[in-house]
């Protein structure tokens, strides 16, 4: 990627921007002295929170990996009846905030409080982050590789798990990373399930006393965990390269399930029941209950419009920041590119309250005119959710042939023109998927929004949280249903963008040995 200093410089600036909250954390941790910082770091409370957070993250990561890969395989590589409907329905959990699902589950089944409930809710909320990229990878894979395996005597199922599964490792690793980072930064679900993880510890430390060094130390531990997860994902992704040719563009023959149809249906229906049906039935029940009272529909509509406004603005800003990083990372092995990508993913592992306080600190010190305005809120969203746009955009660029860029360059187009007229149009589905994912996540974001929203500008998430905190589930239901409604459209956009990336040109099927 020689001759691209502007792109490299932009990626570096975005990386510094993403790391700014960590600078604030570091200053806060060591302002009381190194000895005090290390005494807080190695106390029993910190160790307990670290163990509990790692246990939850491991359970959620494994659950999302298993459920996501299995669901993706069933809807893309088998003849499961209704698989097109299930492909869309299984993306629906993205439209249901984890804390909405948590408050339904804890209200209906209080016995789930703790690790079981937190893990159940987070797996049900996050497995589409694995399923969608893996489904795209399965659908766009070269069927010739599987056909060779079949001709060598392996049956369809053995081929699927020994050959096809290897091709989706990068996609599965990327999705699992996002699910893991979401888990270590989630506040609403673990708070409602009363599971004492790092985010709840950070929140309690900030609210429980004037000394915020404890919370800063916990935040830095989360930075270390996020860094390890990001580097692990990169190691798993190593070796994945872009195509240099056109490849084989045709649809692989679906694998007949035969006697496994009923078990497959049972698995899919069980996943949909836990992730969609139970939360939605709970919301409907509480909505019916709320009809006994006077619902301030004007307040619900105002909160909905505010949510859409903030989520749209954040999606635009994040995509503008993410595209230069995605292009540079996808087309270079430069240390600058690797560092920039790592930086944006690390910030995603921070709790919203930590990023919110860092933005407040910088806003008061350097941008006082923007304090308590929507500008600082959008800045916090950008820091938190950059990876959600960088990941899909980078994957879309990597999946396009680098030879196309080379042809454009040989025809006289410079690097910037090639990016504008060739690379970005080809990667548009991935960029759209990232924008939709950012919109979804911003609409559901809670801690940073609670801290940074302008006075009087309440979102659906903040209104929902306020009602659930005082156990007014009936009053919370209209806001929860409105939030799900707002999330439906970007969920559909995300699903279609991923499927558009994965649809190959159809050719006549090739007979293979059974």
Give the CATH number of the domain where residue 267 resides: 1.10.3720.10
Domain count, the chain: 1
Those residues with Cβ within 8 angstroms of residue 120's Cβ, 6 or more apart along the chain or in another chain: 105, 112, 274
Q: What is the pTM of this model?
A: 0.77
Q: Is residue 512 part of a domain?
A: no
Evaluate whether residue 171 is within a structural domain: yes
Q: What's the N-to-C CA distance of the chain in angstroms? A: 46
Per the CB < 8 A criterion, the answer to whether 159 and 99 are in contact is no
Domain-located, residue 277: yes
Q: How far is CA 497 from CA 183, 393, 435, 450, in A?
A: 25, 11, 10, 31
Beta bridge partners of 78: 255
Taken in order 449, 22, 226, 386, is the CA torsion positive or negative? positive
Domain that holds residue 433: 5-241+258-502
Q: What is the pLDDT of residue 116?
A: 93
User: In 3D, which of 160, 181, 150 has the Cα closest to residue 76?
Assistant: 160
Say if 347 falls within a structural domain: yes
* Cα gap 15→343, rounded to integer Å: 5
Distance separating alpha carbons of residues 229 and 235, to the nearest angstrom: 10
One digit per residue, pLDDT tens: the chain, 514 residues? 444 777 788 888 888 888 888 887 788 777 767 777 778 778 888 888 889 999 999 999 999 999 999 999 898 888 889 888 888 888 888 878 888 888 889 888 889 989 999 999 999 999 998 998 888 777 766 665 555 555 655 656 666 666 666 677 778 888 898 899 889 888 888 888 989 887 877 777 766 654 567 777 877 788 888 888 888 877 776 654 444 444 445 556 777 888 889 999 999 999 999 999 998 888 888 777 766 666 677 888 998 999 999 999 999 999 999 888 888 887 777 788 788 888 888 777 777 777 877 887 788 888 778 877 888 899 989 988 888 888 888 877 776 655 555 555 665 566 666 666 667 777 777 788 888 889 988 988 877 888 788 887 888 888 887 776 666 666 777 888 888 888 877 877 776 766 665 544 333 333 333 3
Within a domain: 82: yes
Q: How many CA atoms lie within 13 A of 202 on its CB side?
A: 29
Does residue 509 belong to any structural domain of this protein?
Answer: no
Tell me what pLDDT residue 247 has.
47
d(CA 312, CA 365): 27
Write down the pLDDT at residue 271.
95
Q: Do the domain assignments include residue 248? A: no
CB neighbours of 404 closer than 8 A, spacing ≥ 6? Answer: 422, 426
Which of 308, 290, 312 is CA-nearest to residue 478? Answer: 290
Task: Say if 392 falls within a structural domain.
Answer: yes
DSSP state of 111: G
């Amino acid at each position: 990627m020689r001759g691209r200093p502007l792109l490299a410089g932009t990626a570096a600036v975005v990386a510094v921007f993403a790391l700014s909250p960590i600078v604030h954390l570091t200053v806060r941790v060591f302002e009381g002295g190194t000895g005090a910082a290390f005494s807080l770091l190695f106390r029993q409370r910190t160790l307990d929170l670290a163990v509990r957070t790692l246990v939850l993250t491991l359970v959620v990561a494994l659950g999302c990996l298993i459920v996501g890969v299995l669901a993706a395989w069933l809807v893309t590589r088998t003849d499961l009846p209704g698989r097109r409907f299930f492909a869309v329905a299984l993306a629906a959990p993205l439209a249901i905030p984890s804390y909405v699902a948590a408050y339904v589950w804890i209200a209906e089944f209080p016995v789930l409080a703790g690790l079981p409930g937190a893990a159940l809710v987070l797996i049900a909320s996050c497995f589409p982050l694995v399923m969608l990229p893996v489904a795209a990878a399965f659908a766009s894979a070269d069927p010739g590789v599987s056909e060779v395996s079949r001709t060598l005597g392996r049956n369809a199922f053995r081929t699927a798990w020994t050959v096809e599964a290897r091709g989706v490792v990068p996609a599965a690793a990327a999705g699992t990373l996002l699910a893991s980072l979401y888990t270590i930064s989630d506040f609403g679900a673990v708070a409602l399930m009363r599971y004492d993880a790092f985010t709840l510890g950070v929140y309690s430390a900030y609210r429980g006393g004037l000394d915020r060094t404890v919370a800063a130390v916990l935040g830095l531990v989360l930075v270390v965990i996020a860094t390890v997860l990001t580097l692990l994902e990169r190691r798993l992704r190593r070796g994945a390269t872009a195509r240099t040719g056109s490849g084989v563009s045709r649809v692989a023959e679906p694998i007949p399930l035969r006697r496994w149809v009923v078990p497959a249906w049972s698995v899919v229906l069980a996943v949909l029941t836990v992730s969609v049906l139970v939360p939605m039935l709970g919301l409907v029940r509480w909505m019916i209950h709320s009809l006994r009272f006077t619902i301030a529909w004007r307040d619900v509509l105002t909160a909905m419009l505010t949510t859409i406004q903030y989520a749209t603005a954040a999606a635009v800003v994040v995509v503008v920041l993410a595209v230069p990083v995605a292009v540079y990372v996808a087309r270079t092995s430069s240390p600058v590119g690797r560092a920039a990508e790592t930086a944006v993913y690390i910030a995603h592992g921070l709790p919203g309250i930590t990023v919110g306080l860092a933005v407040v600190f910088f806003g008061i010190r350097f941008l006082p005119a923007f304090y308590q305005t929507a500008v600082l809120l959008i800045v916090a969203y950008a820091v938190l959710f950059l990876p959600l746009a960088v990941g899909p955009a980078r994957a879309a660029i990597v999946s396009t042939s680098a030879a196309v860029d080379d042809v454009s360059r040989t025809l006289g187009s410079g690097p910037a023109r090639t990016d504008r007229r060739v690379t970005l149009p080809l990667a548009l589905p991935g960029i759209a998927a990232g924008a939709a994912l950012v919109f979804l996540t911003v609409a559901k974001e809670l801690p940073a929004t609670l801290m940074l929203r302008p006075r009087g500008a309440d979102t659906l998430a903040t209104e929902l949280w306020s009602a659930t905190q005082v156990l007014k589930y009936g009053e919370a239901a209209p806001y929860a249903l409105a939030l799900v409604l707002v999330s439906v459209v970007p969920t559909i956009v995300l699903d279609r963008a991923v499927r558009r990336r994965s649809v190959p040109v159809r050719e006549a099927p090739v007979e293979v040995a059974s």
